[in-house]
Every structure is written in C-alpha cells, then in structure tokens.
Amino acid sequence: DAKTTQPNSMESNEEEPVHLPCNHSTISGTDYIHWYRQLPSQGPEYVIHGLTSNVNNRMASLAIAEDRKSSTLILHRATLRDAAVYYCILYDNYGQNFVFGPGTRLSVLP
Amino acid sequence: ETGVTQTPRHLVMGMTNKKSLKCEQHLGHNAMYWYKQSAKKPLELMFVYNFKEQTENNSVPSRFSPECPNSSHLFLHLHTLQPEDSALYLCASSQEVAGQGLFGYTFGSGTRLTIV
C-alpha cells in the first residue's frame, strides 16, 4: 500500500502558485520523498525529490516539514501544461520499489 | 523522449494471440521495471529486474512472462490474455540497487494494450 495521502484533486489559476500537499506520517529516517507527475497519455515524469532540506529545481520546489511527516510541492507559476496527476511517493524498502497511490489531479484554469 | 523507449505504443490483440512488449534504455541504469496502469487505478508494480536478475514478481499471473536479456532491454511476453488485462503498460529504469530510493525512475511513454 502507498504510504502517502494526497487530496484527490486541486484547481489552480494560470500563472498563480500552486501548493500540493502530501502527508507521510509513517516515514522512516532514511526514506526519500519523491514527486512525479503524469500528463495525459504519458508515463510518469520525475519532478523532484528530497530527504530533509527543502529542494529547488527548474520544475518546482519541495518544502519538507521539520518532522518529515508532510511535504509540499510548489509550482511557482502554474501553466496549462502543468495540468497532470501529481504523485507523492516514498520508497518501499521491503519491496525495493516505489509504490504509487492515486495522486492529486491538478486542473489549471486559464 | 525520456531515454526509455517502449514499443509498440498501441497494441490490440485477441485473447488467443501471443505478443511481446519491448522496452529499451541507454541511460546506463541497472534496474528495470514493468508497471500496469488500469483505468482509474494507481500504477501497480509487476516485475523488477536488478542487473538482469528478477528480484520481484508481484503476484502476476503466468500469462505475463518477463525477459531481461541485458541491462538495456526488457520484454513482456503476453499470451492468452483476458479483457481485464487491457491497460497501459509502463516500463521504467533507475540506478537503484540497494534501496532507500536515492535515485528516481525514468519512465517510458507506455504501451496501450487492448484485449478484444
């Protein structure tokens, strides 16, 4: 089972920031937090990942709570091309793989 | 292109047919994966290969048969499939070896399989 919980859907207006939340209360000390997104008719695409510190890259920022039990993916200026399903995932050390949940479906309104 | 190429992109086959899905990566990754994505369901892991050795078979029916001849190629052989096997089949690769999730996955675009 996925070890994270996310809202089923969110809406944003174009060119506004988007904050996508994720809860992972059972996270262990060595689990990396990964975010992927899946555009229609495509495979998932890596967005960002982190362990403890906040992370930034050209696509997004990842804010990790101090207790690591939650994180937030931040898209600084949403575009129509950012409409996708966003997955917050922890690595399953037992199964040695990523377990995907249903994710958050982000709609971006023009 | 993501660096992971899957062929064909679309496949329609009858329940008695035999076909194969192909996945290829030249990213230097040592682990490869097959996932299944049915309509309105999360991705389900099917098989994991590390250095060409199968390390995970997630209770997949025997009508799905994986093959990993080298670290760059992965196949999924299909025979006598059922209508409920219609789905998007995704291949991924990573540098992951020992766990922790330090490295991310690179996914292909998938093969849309329809069983008629």
pLDDT of residue A3: 84
| Confidence check: pLDDT of A82 > 80 | yes
- Report the gap between the CA of B48 and the closest CA in chain A (Å): 8
Q: Do A46 and B48 touch (CB under 8 A)?
A: no
- Residue pair B68/B34 in contact (Cβ under 8 Å)? The answer is no
What tokens appear for B40 in the block? Answer: 């309105």
Nearest to A34 among B4, B92, B104 (CB): B104
- Report the gap between the CA of B104 and the closest CA in chain A (Å): 7
Nearest to A46 among B42, B48, B105 (CB): B105
Q: Closest residue of B to A50, CA-based?
A: B102
pLDDT of residue B78: 96
Measured between CB atoms, does B59 come within 8 Å of chain A? no
pLDDT digits (tens, 9 = 90+) for A9-50: 999 999 999 999 999 998 887 788 999 999 988 899 999 999
pLDDT digits (tens, 9 = 90+) for B69-108: 998 999 999 999 999 999 999 999 998 665 556 778 899 9
Measured between CB atoms, does B113 come within 8 Å of chain A? no
CA-based torsion, B52, B53, B56, B61: positive or negative: positive
Rounded CA-CA distance B80/B24 in Å is 25
Pairing of strands B53-57, A97-98: unpaired
| Confidence check: pLDDT of B63 > 80 | yes
| Confidence check: pLDDT of A53 > 90 | no
Measured between CB atoms, does A45 come within 8 Å of chain B? yes
Nearest to A102 among B42, B48, B92 (CB): B42
